[in-house]
Amino acid sequence: MKLTTRILTLGLIVAGGMAFAEGEATDPTVKARQELMKTIGGNTKALGDMAGGKADFDAAKAEAAKAAILAASAEIAAKFETNATDPETEAKPEIWSNWDDFVSKADALKTAAGALDATSLDGVKAGMAGVGGACKACHTAYRM
């Protein structure tokens, strides 16, 4: 058991180092977009972990995660308005050629997050389908 734990830990360290070695965005606009997406992703994960039983339900943490997703989703269009390029971006150029659809998908995330009931575990479970679906729809179309 200890050997398995060591191997997994080493694998995570190596994978993390490789991800870091690949580079980070240097363009400030791209970095700001990536930070915004990390905020959404981290808070979506927190809610998903609660919904999936990987974390205990905590209404205060769920509400904070919902609020963070709502606030960040309201900034998506503004953060992506400028078509900045960077070798480390995962944003497809189709964002800017299909701007109205992109903004519509960002608005769908905001709507789904707003509809999520963070006061109960059942509410979080029910709301995660909308939040996850909104993320998937945009990432499928506009993320490499």
Binding-site annotation: residue ranges for heme c: 135, 138-139
Nearest-angstrom CA–CA distance, 138 and 120: 27
- Do 12 and 71 touch, CB atoms closer than 8 A? no
H or E element that contains 110: helix 99-115
Nearest-angstrom CA–CA distance, 125 and 98: 32
Which residues line the annotated binding site? 135, 138-139
- Classify the C-alpha dihedral 76-82-87-90 as positive or negative: positive
Task: Write b or e for each residue in 114-128: b if 16 or more Cβ atoms lie within 10 A of its Cβ, otherwise e.
Answer: eebebeebebbbebb
Q: Residue 97: CB partners within 8 Å, gap ≥ 6?
A: none
